[in-house]
Structure 1
Amino acid sequence: MSYETEHVRNVGDGIQAITGVPTFTELLTNSALAGIYTAIRRSPGITAPDLVETADVSKKTVYEYLHRLEQAGLITETGDETSPSPYEAEDFELQLTIRGVEVSITPELVAVVAHADEYPIIARVRDDHGLVTFALAHDLIKSHSEGDITVRQIASLTNLSHGTTYDLLEALYAIHDLGDADSSPTTYTPADVVDEDDDLLTELTDQQ
């Protein structure tokens, strides 16, 4: 089976190990770290005291995470000598190769991880099914919001159950503010989708 989406693409066999900078990759497993980075990215100029007020971790941990993010080049102080200093986040794209499949880690994926405590389905898919499936499902759900693919097809391509797919879809719709109340993913039922493959399904899946 072959995948080709925004965050997942095939790069052939050979590389088996995941490589990358620890702080970058931890953004996919540490919801508090991801939340601080995402908060800075969404609110340029935010300060450490602002983050302490809203974070679910201690003041000490907030400052530790800020230091780590700054050391990794993910955030920068933008003020002069005044205190507290405002921060801005840097955009990035980190490529990981997992069993011959290349996965792009971007701020958009990190923003999803930042909500893992609010939506346990995020950690469940990531931890139980792996990073490739997590990133692939993310991309396919975005395609679903644009009307390009059905829920049943997402479940088939990711090997997720329909219930898990619906739960993840609902979470991502809320996090990314996809669609509106009239097109909420909760209005979809198995009777609303079709069994036939469409053009997108053909493009995404190559039967060997």
Structure 2
Amino acid sequence: MSYDTEHVRNVGNGPTMITGLSTFTELLTNTNLADLYIAIRLSPGVTAPEIADQVAVSKKTVYEYLHRLERAGLITETKDDSATRAYNAEDFELTLTIRGIEITITPKLVAVISRSDAYPIINRICDEHGFVTFALAHDLINAHSDGEVTIRQIAALTDLSHGTTYDLLEALYEIHDIGGDGPSPTTYSPADVAEDDLFSELTDNK
């Protein structure tokens, strides 16, 4: 039997135990927790000792984080060949609607947040402009890699300066390994695009 209610959908034979919903949002502010979740996601079946060698926290903190992630339903325990505890990461989407703006938190965004120590521009945008602006800029930069928008258009849509937008673009290109040896998408300086044409260009490209 499946249940679909106002707040809960896709429930099969009864609801799954999920507690500690604050852990979901902490993935966006605690880079060590995010890094541990992503490490498990990239290495299914990884054991706790193996995880401890990959992250920059104490062994005690590793086990604390594993417990929190498991209680939140973000990871599940398995057994390896030696019966040692091993873990797999679960996919998730956490969608919030605030003041009519809908934002969805996914492992892809968490993976970027986990790199914020190496790329301070990520924390700077989240702290100074908010996570919605960061998530919007992230998605627009992905569109930029496909040649759909320019840096100027991203800056206008997110209300970020051109310099800040370019710094974030460089960071995300490295994190997502966009570009490689192929030709880079065309970018434009402020003088290349007339202000009146900005949103019409975006509309025409859809």
Q: Say yes or no: TM over 0.5.
A: yes
Once residues 42 and 132 of structure 2 are traced to their aligned partners in structure 1, the CA distance between those partners, rounded to angstroms, is 26
Deviation at 1:98, TM superposition (A): 2.4
Larger radius of gyration: 2
Deviation at 1:57, TM superposition (A): 1.2
Once residues 201 and 103 of structure 2 are traced to their aligned partners in structure 1, the CA distance between those partners, rounded to angstroms, is 20
Q: 1:147 to 1:25 in 2, by over 3 A?
A: same
Q: Which residue of 1 aligns with 2:25?
A: 25
* Letter in structure 1 aligned against 2:90: E
**Would the aligned equivalents of 2:77 and 2:86 in 1 still touch at CA under 8 Å?**
yes
Q: Which residue of 2 aligns with 1:139?
A: 139
**Would the aligned equivalents of 2:152 and 2:190 in 1 still touch at CA under 8 Å?**
no
* Letter in structure 2 aligned against 1:201: L
* Letter in structure 2 aligned against 1:74: L
Once residues 32 and 184 of structure 1 are traced to their aligned partners in structure 2, the CA distance between those partners, rounded to angstroms, is 32
Q: Which residue of 2 aligns with 1:60?
A: 60
Which stretch has the larger CA shift, 171-180 or 106-115?
171-180
Provide TM-score, normalisation by structure 1: 0.80
- Structure 2 residue 205 is the aligned partner of structure 1 residue 197: no
* Structure 1 residues 150-196: Cα deviation after superposition (integer angstroms, max 9, x where no partner): 011000100001111111111111111112144457x9562795333
- Counting matched residue pairs gives 184
Once residues 155 and 29 of structure 1 are traced to their aligned partners in structure 2, the CA distance between those partners, rounded to angstroms, is 24
**Would the aligned equivalents of 2:152 and 2:188 in 1 still touch at CA under 8 Å?**
no
**Would the aligned equivalents of 1:116 and 1:123 in 2 still touch at CA under 8 Å?**
yes
Q: Which residue of 2 aligns with 1:36?
A: 36
Once residues 76 and 52 of structure 2 are traced to their aligned partners in structure 1, the CA distance between those partners, rounded to angstroms, is 17
Deviation at 1:23, TM superposition (A): 0.5
**Would the aligned equivalents of 1:49 and 1:84 in 2 still touch at CA under 8 Å?**
no
Percent identity of the aligned residues?
63
Deviation at 1:203, TM superposition (A): 7.8
**Would the aligned equivalents of 1:152 and 1:193 in 2 still touch at CA under 8 Å?**
no
* Letter in structure 1 aligned against 2:193: V
Ranges in structure 2 where 5+ consecutive residues have no aligned partner: 1-19
Q: 1:173 to 1:102 in 2, by over 3 A?
A: same
Structure 1 residue ranges (4+ consecutive) displaced by more than 4 angstroms after TM superposition? none
Q: Which residue of 2 aligns with 1:109?
A: 109
Once residues 71 and 81 of structure 2 are traced to their aligned partners in structure 1, the CA distance between those partners, rounded to angstroms, is 19
* Structure 1 residues 2-61: Cα deviation after superposition (integer angstroms, max 9, x where no partner): xxxxxxxxxxxxxxxxxx920001111111111111111111111111111121111111
**Would the aligned equivalents of 2:39 and 2:54 in 1 still touch at CA under 8 Å?**
no
* Letter in structure 2 aligned against 1:55: V
**Would the aligned equivalents of 1:23 and 1:69 in 2 still touch at CA under 8 Å?**
yes
* Letter in structure 1 aligned against 2:107: P
Provide TM-score, normalisation by structure 2: 0.81
* Letter in structure 2 aligned against 1:100: G
- Structure 2 residue 83 is the aligned partner of structure 1 residue 49: no
**Would the aligned equivalents of 1:148 and 1:200 in 2 still touch at CA under 8 Å?**
no
